[in-house]
Amino acid sequence: MPVTTATRGARRSPTDGVGRAATGLRTDIQALRAFAVMAVVLYHLWPNRISGGFVGVDVFFVISGYLITGHLLRQVELTGRVDLARFWAARARRLLPASLLVLLLTAIAVLVAVPRSLKEQFLSEVLASAAYVQNWRLAHDAVDYLGAENRPSASQHFWSLSVEEQFYVALPLLVVATVALAGLVRTRRSQAVFVVLVLVTVGSFAYNLYLTDTSPGVAYFSTFTRMWEFGLGGLASFAPPALVGLSRRRAAVYSAVTVAGGVAVVSALFVIDSETAFPGIAAALPVVGTVVVVRWGGATVAAWIGALAPVAVLGRISYALYLWHWPLIVIPPLVTFHALTTGEKLLILVASITIAWLSTRFFEEPIRFRVRPRVRPLAVLAVALVAMAPVVVVSGVASAMIRRDDDGRVADKAVLVDSGPACLGAAAMAAKNGCDNPDLDGIIVNDPSQVADDTPKRSGCWAPHGVETLNVCTIGPPTDFEVHLFAVGDSHNLALVSAYEKIAEKYRWRIDLAGHPGCYWTTADPKLNSDEQTASCRGWQANLDDYLAASDFDAILTTHATSVGVQPADGQSREQAIVDGLVGAWQTQTSKGVPVIAIVDNPGTDATNVQCVERFGTTDPDRCATPRSEGLRKFDGKAEAVAKVDRTSLVDMTDFYCTKTVCPSVIGSVAVFRDRTHVTSTYLRTLAPYLGERLRAALREQKVI
């Protein structure tokens, strides 16, 4: 994955006894490369066995910082300058051939094998990877409410390569600027670079701690929160380890220190897991351990391990292995529609290593070592840009064609749904003795490949993450209405807009609606994905309280997703916190005579549901159904809260989502789910007549109508 100091002859592994192969390759660093790539690969295959395998990426970052900084320092010391064009050309020749080959073949595999519902996302991430901005694409998705539901794409692993490439651009520019400044103030160039690198490293580490605490999703992918890892590796290069002439005592000290560093790196695989705030302070364990090894491991057991043939081979192919393994893990389950078995995982492991060796031996190394060394750097960069063209053309043109075709399908679906055929959607569940409409046989009216976009298209009803303002929209007649209701909640409340629109039209109700992602009407302490999102939710809830205190509605409708997080008080269970929070919020309105109608949350499904329906929805829809116990397994809390508060009613539509045993994914020729927890607007439009009847019954119960 990172750069290497090897030459063509580095295919051999015998060492001269001082930590270098016969050609000058640091075998201890090769050992680290082998360890890092296998940690990542094994983690991706068996995440429950090696919970912290993702720290292999951090090991790579340190190695890159060490080698690249050392390389630039030697240039500065020898020539007094950095040849930017030659440096970047060398990086392009090292990195681009293999990465562009993998991206091109990945794009083709996406077009051929990946379900249509995922094609556009996957292809757009291929483009982001080709431009080496994949980390920022994923950072954006981490805080985007809809993007957070995206499936891991076949090029998602390019986020770390994007960070490295940005480092390769930024560091030489920083060195050039620092050298120029050192000349002006008449100080030693290397000393000036050292001071600047210390400042960047400290600043990045501080920002890493801050952002991991406030926005962990962004922190994981941000270049700025990772720069300190490169920086520490770079600082280690200012005092390269002595590889020859060590006294026995010093050699023993170096060995002991190296072993301690190795233990730190290995232990990170098991003491860090997906629940660890990362990178944060936890990243210091593998990072500092790696710095210790690259600084003192050149003449120790680490070098001996790196010289072993299997380790040497893994170190040599580590970059290619990192590139190839992930598409081989992601794409097959999208074809077979079952989780990888142990046998399949072992086959993928062997295939990944084999393909990585072949591509390294017969594609990457010939380009890297056999291209004439005197080719001008600008020519190399020009060729690299031209080589990107096939990836861009395949991914970009295919995405545009898919999008254009989808637009036509959406229009056709709207015409069919508006015609209101018998047995469509929820009507099939309402029929007590079954429902059959031959016109709907063999079709799904909302194309499963497009259901991710089967959402309400209402502006002004939503306050996104980071916004505390209570944005309120109006559904139904603004004047001359029969009843004035306020609907409030998270995205599951917003999803009901499609039903609210038809209900308001039928009964001449005015429904004002407000929502916020992952945030709902409660006095419980919210717990979102970051401190920033949690603070935004609290501010929105405070504005909601003020708004309700100054308003006069006939009744309030409320719902929220069962997956939304709350922070229980000491000694309080999550379930009790949910119920107490609802009770506390509702009583602020019921105490002044405004009834509250709570709508039970819809069931959920699994992450593969949309793709299952896309493939089997018309031929074997039962295959995609979710067991009722799974779909309804998360605690809702609304029934328990209604039992504690007067002037409240419960509306439960579960019988329109689930039978006694399963929650179907296709009901009445309509795909029900657009992701794991959200229901499609199309299905909710068909649910409107039945939801309207139950809301009317609740309003009668509360003597509103």
pLDDT tens string 192-216: 999 999 999 999 999 999 999 888 9
Q: In the predicted model, what is the mean pLDDT of residues 59-82? A: 94
The whole model's pTM is what? 0.85
Give the three-state DSSP class for 558.
Answer: strand
Using CA of residue 295, residue 281, residue 168, residue 31, what is the dihedral sign?
positive
pLDDT tens string 622-631: 999 999 999 9
| φ, ψ at 519 (rounded to 5°) | -145, 135
User: How many other C-beta atoms are found inside a 10 Å radius of the C-beta of residue 127?
Assistant: 21
Between the alpha carbon of residue 79 and those of residues 71, 72, 74, 75, 172, the distances in Å are 12, 10, 8, 6, 14
Q: In the predicted model, what is the mean pLDDT of residues 683-690? A: 96
Give the three-state DSSP class for 189.
Answer: helix
- Report the percent of the chain where pLDDT is more than 90: 71
Using CA of residue 492, residue 497, residue 500, residue 502, what is the dihedral sign?
negative
pLDDT tens string 385-424: 777 778 887 887 777 776 655 555 555 565 666 677 889 9
Instruction: Tell whether the model's pLDDT for residue 374 goes beyond 70.
Output: no
pLDDT at 18 (0 to 100): 43
d(CA 12, CA 79): 31
Q: Residue 554 belongs to what H/E stretch?
A: none
d(CA 193, CA 191): 5
Burial 501-535 (b: 16+ CB within 10 A, else e): bbbbeebebbbbbbbbbbbbbbbbebbbbbebbbe
d(CA 110, CA 359): 20
pLDDT at 298 (0 to 100): 83
Domains of the chain: 8-401 (no CATH), 456-603+634-657+681-701 (3.40.50)
| φ, ψ at 474 (rounded to 5°) | -115, 130
